[in-house]
Amino acid sequence: MEILADYIVVIVTGICLGVGYIIKHSLDKIPNKYIPLIMGILGVVLNSWLNGFAFTPEILIGGLASGLAATGAFEAVKNLKKEEVK
């Protein structure tokens, strides 16, 4: 996990978190099982864009890690809120 933490880009994670939230709560046509895939692809595209559309393995891993970290962060917050209600 520490290795992936080196690749996470905070800006990309934040954008993916917002887009994922919008998809989850507004677009009923997209099943929830596809949201991590969409966030991974979006993370790679955004990370590539931030680096001048260069594409290296580090950019690929950084985009995937950031997009999937956004999905995990959303689920973690959702589970914490669920436990507080009990």
pLDDT digits (tens, 9 = 90+) for 17-49: 999 999 999 988 999 899 999 999 999 999 999
Summarised one tens digit per residue, pLDDT across range 41-79 is: 999 999 999 999 989 999 999 999 999 999 999 888 888
d(CA 46, CA 60): 10
CB burial of 12-45 (b: ≥16 within 10 Å; e: otherwise) equals bbebbbebbeebeeeeeeeeeeebbebbbebbbe
Structure tokens at 14: 């934040």
Please give the structure tokens belonging to residue 62: 């950084």
Q: Which of 17, 8, 18, 15 lies closest to 61 in space, CA to CA?
A: 8
